[in-house]
Amino acid sequence: MDAARPAGRALAALSGLREPVVWVLLLIAFFTAISGKPVDGVLMLIVATGLAWDAGRRALRHPGAGAGPVARPSRRPGGRRRLLAVAALLAGGAAYAGVVGSFSRYSWPATAGIIGLGTIVVVIGWHGPLRARPDGGRLPLAGTLAWIVVLVAGCLWELASLLQQPSLTTDSYSHPTISTLTDPLLASSPGRSIVLLGWLALGWYLVER
Amino acid sequence: MNSHEVTIAGYLVAVAGIVLMQVLATRTRAPVPSLGDLLTRAMRTRTGRVGVLVAWAWIGLHFFAR
């Protein structure tokens, strides 16, 4: 099947629906949209559709290959250049956190800043890791399952709090979500900048994976 | 304890669980992968990689964006 033809594109997108990540993103898009954040929902829907199409297209071109690993050749600068690059990134990150943190939450400038950086990071990630990393081999099954239990339990606790609110868009003192608990911190410009620095650090850590 | 405190205690238990798992992974010989190993494994495929990065982007959107 030619993935460039309309029928081929549709088939590619449909076969990409076999990827669990696509369904997770579609669920996030749905729940985000009905929680009063339609922009987030639409963005998640766009990524889910693109990922489904991309995964399906690759599966049709290379049957049996699945969603295999993608790696770029390592091109990490060394010595002084690396130091300069790190210093520039740190300065850029601090400036970004300061500027975007100065904008009110849920304002259009803050939204543009987050969407802009998020798009850049996701596009970089779409093309593969920044540098080749050794294959760590198989993870121990019991330990991996224990991690999944802990992380899923945390997510379910948050979901339970969300569902016990008077409505999805109304906070509850009795059953606060993480968003509600962080509201006081994010009410001030320095608080927002600190949280943004943490978000940037996490993003950099993930891009480096 | 009222329901507010119970809810917060639940979050603290979840955070303690994550810290405990990470300590087990990095400070003992228990067969537990670190969170970094888990993320690296999840990000070996393009869909996993994009999924994790989109989850990160979603956190920013959720807390700051309209």
Average pLDDT over residues A44-57: 88
Q: Do B32 and A143 touch (CB under 8 A)?
A: yes
B1 shares contact with chain A (CB less than 8 Å) = no
Name the residue in chain A with its Cα closest to that of B10. Answer: A157
Say which residue, A208 or A201, is predicted with more confidence: A201
CA-only gyration radius of chain A, Å: 20
Nearest by CB to B38, from A32, A139, A182: name it.
Answer: A139
pLDDT tens digits along A11-40:
766 777 888 888 989 998 998 888 888 888
Nearest by CB to B49, from A125, A144, A158: name it.
Answer: A125
Q: Is the pLDDT of residue B46 over 80?
A: yes
Positive or negative, the CA dihedral A41, A45, A46, A51 is: positive
A159 shares contact with chain B (CB less than 8 Å) = no
Q: Global pTM?
A: 0.85
Our measurement of the distance from residue A105's CA atom to the centroid of its chain's CA atoms, rounded to an integer in Å, reads 19
pLDDT tens digits along A88-141:
999 999 999 999 999 999 999 999 999 999 999 999 988 888 777 776 678 999
Mean pLDDT, rounded, of chain A: 86
Least Cα separation, residue A39 to chain B (angstroms): 7
Residue ranges of the domains in chain B?
Answer: 1-32, 33-66
Say which residue, A75 or B45, is predicted with more confidence: B45
Instruction: Give me the helix-helix angle, B46-64 and A108-126, nearest 10°.
Output: 170
A 10 A CB-CB count for A16 gives 25
B34 shares contact with chain A (CB less than 8 Å) = no
pLDDT of the residue at A131: 76
Q: Is the pLDDT of residue A49 over 80?
A: yes
Please compute, for residue A200, the number of CA atoms within 13 A of its CA located in the half-sphere on the CB side.
Answer: 22
pLDDT tens digits along A69-91:
555 655 566 788 889 999 999 99
Q: Is the pLDDT of residue A185 over 90?
A: yes
pLDDT of the residue at A73: 57
Average pLDDT over residues A157-168: 92
pLDDT of the residue at A94: 97
In the numeric block, which tokens belong to residue A53? 């199409």
Q: Is B45 helix (H, G, I), strand (E, B) or coil?
A: strand
> Which residues in chain A are closer than 8 Å to B59, comparing Cβ atoms?
199, 202
In the numeric block, which tokens belong to residue B41? 């494994």
> Which residues in chain A are closer than 8 Å to B65, comparing Cβ atoms?
37, 39-40, 106, 110-111, 114-115
Q: Do the Cβ atoms of A188 and A102 come closer than 8 Å?
A: no
Q: What is the DSSP string of A87-114?
A: HHHHHHHHHHHHHHHHSPTT-HHHHHHH
pLDDT of the residue at A145: 96
- Segment 112-141 of chain A within 8 Å of chain B by CB: 113-115, 117-119, 121-122, 125-126, 128-129, 133, 135-136, 139-140
Mutate to test the interface with B, among A26, A42, A70, A114 (most CBs of B within 10 A): A114
pLDDT of the residue at A58: 80
Q: What is the DSSP letter of A188?
A: S
Of A82, A70, A106, A93, nearest in space to A203 by CA: A93
Q: What are phi and psi of A18, to 5 degrees?
A: -70, -15
Q: Do A174 and B4 touch (CB under 8 A)?
A: yes
pLDDT of the residue at A82: 87
Q: Is the pLDDT of residue B66 over 60?
A: yes
User: CA distances (Å), A22 to each of A53, A91, B8, B47, B62, in order?
Assistant: 10, 35, 31, 8, 19
Q: Is A167 helix (H, G, I), strand (E, B) or coil?
A: strand
Name the residue in chain B with its Cα closest to that of A71. Answer: B44
pLDDT of the residue at A96: 97
Assign A192 a pLDDT band (cuts: 50, 70, 90). Answer: very high
Nearest by CB to B21, from A150, A175, A199: name it.
Answer: A150
Our measurement of the distance from residue A135's CA atom to the centroid of its chain's CA atoms, rounded to an integer in Å, reads 23
Mutate to test the interface with A, among B46, B52, B59 (most CBs of A within 10 A): B46
Average pLDDT over residues B16-41: 95
pLDDT of the residue at B8: 96
Q: What percentage of chain A carries pLDDT values higher than 90?
A: 54
pLDDT of the residue at A168: 84
Vertex A3 angle, CA A65 and B57, to 5°: 70
Q: What stretches of chain A show up as alpha helix (H) in DSSP?
A: 6-16, 20-34, 38-61, 79-102, 108-126, 141-163, 178-186, 189-207
Q: Do the Cβ atoms of A67 and A52 come closer than 8 Å?
A: no
